[in-house]
Each structure stands twice: as structure tokens, then as C-alpha cells.
């Protein structure tokens, strides 16, 4: 099992390792500490990627000492307690620190990697720097880790109506999925990251959400057989976000870090797409355009509900909606009375 987890983690952070090294050194860098989350620990791929990031940080005036954690929640808690000056977290956890950047992982908000590229390029602009901070916290990098897709045990389940009564694993820290389950009339099954995929493979649940990079190492073909499939319609864009306590870093550190990360976006997405194309074509389920409408509308209502609960950032959702509508102005949401 440990080997499977290693392979999965190594794949899902492959894009995060791309382009994080630099060779120019700043004079007299300040010394700071990062709470570094890697579920494998100091031998894991996230740790190795952020060892490269240490070199880039030197260019921006910071010598980073890495304090390794195998639990992302514990790393987040220690960062919040001031034990560390920086931390790397999944976007869903980063949301509580900088809601605008954390809303990038909102359900259905970013349909394609082209949309995501426009968003990250926009947020890497100096003019957008204010949106990457909240109070004392700042998101200094956003790295794409791939879209999460719906893995279905029954490939005939392609509409929202088909989801009623279906069992799905739900994480405690994923309010969008909890809301989605309630809206679609599904049956929630409590799970953790360590159990949700095994539940699917053992047919204890009818569907789960996962990035394509998880397919091979977590053997998700077991849950798809004999009649399952993967809906080729992204649910969420998964990101890895680097957070800092901005008063502890030199002026301009965050801006340099964001610009550097986005300059390697295409390299990261190339790695992600390779994992998607490696999945056998027989598993992919193409959703007809008329059926996409139901999914898209449910996602939109989900985002609005979570915005009203203070979980999603309203300004971020508006920016994302404007980008979607700039690419597809005929979308119904573009003229909806309750548009985001």
C-alpha cells in the first residue's frame, strides 16, 4: 500500500516540480521556515520539488528551512500558529487563509486548462496582487495538479437525475462535495483520502472524484469494471498553493514567486495531460452538450450557495464567470439574473 501511495503522490506533484529551480542567488538572504507537507515525508516527491523551490527562494532573498509534515492539516495548524513562515497546501485547505485564491478550486468554476491558464496569468499580474493576500497571509504560488473527474461504477450514469440515491465518499473538509451530494440527492458515505478510493474499488460506493493521475497507481480500473467509466467533464481544478505570512518575507517575494510559477504553466499541464491520455479510451464517457447543461447549472447553484455561506469568495467567482463568458458568451449563466 505504501508503494501505491508513493507512486500516486509522485505523479500528482510531478507538475509542481517543473520549473521551480533557479540559479541566481540574492545577497544576504533572510532565514525562514516552511511547513512542508508531503504525505510520504522527506523521501516524497513534494519534498523533492520544494527542495528545488529553496533554490528559487534564494534568488528572491530567502533561505528556506524545510520542516516536513505527513499530514496537511497539521502543517496548516502549525503555520497558523506561527511555527512556520510558509506552508504548501491543497487549494481546498488554503481557502481558509486566502479565500480568493482558494476559490480557484471551486466546483465547476474552471472548465478547461485554457481557462485556468488565463486565470493564473491574471492573478500573477502585479495589479492582482491584492487578491492574493488576506490579512497577514499571501499566496505566493499556485500550481495546477489536474482536473478531478467523476469515476462512475455504472457508465450509464451521465445526467444529474441519474445520481439520485448513488453512494459517494465525502470528506469532512470538502463543503462543495457535501453540497453537491445534497443537491443531487445522493447518499453520502464518510471517508478520508486514505479510504475513499479503496471504497470505490471495492464497490462500497458508486462513484468518486479523482484526477487522472490517480488512475494507474490507485488501480481505479478495479472500481470501473465491469461497466464503469469516467465522465469527461471536469468537476474541480485541483491546485497546490504556497502560502506565506507576508510580513516575514522580503518585499516582492510573492510577486516574483507567482510570476515564476505561472511561466511554467504549460510545462505543468503537459505532464497532467500525459496522465489523462494514458487512460484507456474505453473508460472515457463523452457527455453530450445538451446533458452538460444540467451539470453546469448544478455546479453554478453550488457555488452561489457556498458563496452565500462565506466559503467561496464572491469577487473570485465573478472573475471566473467573466473569463468563462469571454470564451463562451452564449452560455446561459452569462445573462442569468443571479449570475455570479
pLDDT digits (tens, 9 = 90+) for 298-314: 999 999 999 999 999 99
Whether the CB-CB separation of 57 and 47 falls below 8 Å is answered with: no
| Residue-level pLDDT at 11 | 52
Identify the band that residue 158 occupies on the pLDDT scale cut at 50, 70 and 90: confident
Q: What is the pLDDT of residues 261-278, one digit of tens each?
A: 999 899 989 989 999 999
Q: What is the pLDDT of residues 46-78, one digit of tens each?
A: 888 888 889 889 989 999 999 999 888 899 999
Grid coordinates in use for 79? Answer: 503555520
Rounded Cα–Cα distance for residues 77 and 84 (Å)? 10
- What is the rounded average pLDDT for all residues in the chain? 88
- Domains of the chain, earliest start first: 2-144+238-277 (3.40.190), 148-236+284-309 (3.40.190.10)
The Cβ of residue 47 has, within 10 Å, a number of other Cβ atoms equal to 18
Listed residue (72, 301, 104, 98) closest to 192, CA to CA: 72
| Residue-level pLDDT at 231 | 94
Q: What percent of the chain has pLDDT over 70?
A: 92
Residue 6: pLDDT above 80? no
Q: Residues 37, 38, 42, CA angle at the centre, nearest 5°?
A: 110
**CA-to-CA separations, 46 to 16, 113, 196, 289, in angstroms, rounded:** 8, 22, 22, 38
Calculate the dihedral angle through the C-alpha atoms of 42, 48, 52, 53, rounding to the nearest 10 degrees. Answer: -70
Identify the band that residue 22 occupies on the pLDDT scale cut at 50, 70 and 90: very low
Torsion sign, CA atoms 96, 98, 107, 145: negative
Rounded Cα–Cα distance for residues 92 and 115 (Å)? 19
Least confident of 165-169, 198-202, 205-209, 216-220: 216-220
* Angle at which helices 113-123 and 314-327 cross, to 10°: 130
Torsion sign, CA atoms 305, 135, 66, 45: positive
3-class DSSP state of 185: coil
Residue 165: pLDDT above 90? yes
| Residue-level pLDDT at 3 | 45
Whether the CB-CB separation of 193 and 71 falls below 8 Å is answered with: no
Q: Residues 113, 51, 262, CA angle at the centre, nearest 5°?
A: 25
The Cβ of residue 25 has, within 10 Å, a number of other Cβ atoms equal to 11
| Residue-level pLDDT at 1 | 42
Identify the band that residue 168 occupies on the pLDDT scale cut at 50, 70 and 90: very high
Amino acid at each position: 500500500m505504501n508503494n501505491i501511495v508513493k507512486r500516486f503522490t509522485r505523479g500528482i506533484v510531478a507538475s509542481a516540480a517543473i520549473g521551480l529551480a533557479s540559479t541566481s542567488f540574492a545577497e544576504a538572504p533572510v532565514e525562514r521556515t516552511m511547513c512542508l507537507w508531503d504525505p510520504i515525508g522527506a523521501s516524497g516527491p513534494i519534498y523533492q520539488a520544494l527542495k528545488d523551490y529553496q533554490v528559487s527562494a534564494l534568488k528572491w532573498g530567502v533561505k528556506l528551512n524545510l520542516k516536513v509534515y505527513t499530514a496537511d492539516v497539521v502543517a496548516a495548524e502549525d503555520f497558523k500558529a506561527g511555527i512556520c513562515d510558509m506552508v504548501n497546501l491543497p487549494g481546498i485547505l488554503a481557502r481558509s487563509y486566502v479565500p480568493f485564491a482558494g476559490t480557484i478550486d471551486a466546483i465547476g468554476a474552471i472548465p478547461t486548462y485554457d481557462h485556468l491558464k488565463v486565470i493564473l496569468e491574471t492573478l500573477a499580474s502585479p495589479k492582482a496582487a491584492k487578491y492574493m493576500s488576506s490579512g497577514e497571509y499571501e499566496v505566493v504560488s499556485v500550481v495546477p495538479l489536474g482536473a478531478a473527474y467523476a469515476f462512475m461504477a455504472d457508465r450509464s450514469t451521465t445526467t444529474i437525475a441519474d445520481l439520485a440515491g448513488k453512494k459517494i465518499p465525502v470528506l469532512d473538509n470538502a463543503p462543495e462535495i457535501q453540497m453537491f451530494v445534497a443537491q443531487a440527492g445522493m447518499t453520502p458515505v464518510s471517508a478520508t483520502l486514505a479510504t475513499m478510493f479503496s471504497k470505490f474499488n471495492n464497490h462500497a460506493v458508486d462513484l468518486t472524484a479523482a484526477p487522472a493521475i490517480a488512475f494507474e497507481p490507485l488501480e481505479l480500473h478495479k472500481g470501473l469494471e465491469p461497466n464503469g467509466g469516467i465522465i469527461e467533464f471536469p468537476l474541480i481544478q485541483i491546485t497546490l498553493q504556497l502560502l506565506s505570512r507576508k510580513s516575514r518575507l522580503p518585499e516582492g517575494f510573492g510577486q516574483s514567486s507567482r510570476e515564476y510559477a505561472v511561466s511554467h504553466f504549460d510545462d505543468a499541464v503537459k505532464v497532467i495531460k500525459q496522465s489523462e491520455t494514458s487512460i484507456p479510451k474505453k473508460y472515457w464517457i463523452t457527455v453530450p452538450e445538451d446533458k452538460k447543461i444540467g451539470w453546469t447549472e448544478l455546479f453554478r447553484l453550488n457555488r452561489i450557495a457556498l458563496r452565500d455561506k462565506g466559503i467561496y469568495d464572491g469577487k473570485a467567482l465573478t472573475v471566473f464567470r467573466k473569463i468563462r463568458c469571454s470564451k463562451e458568451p452564449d452560455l446561459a449563466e452569462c445573462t442569468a439574473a443571479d449570475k455570479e
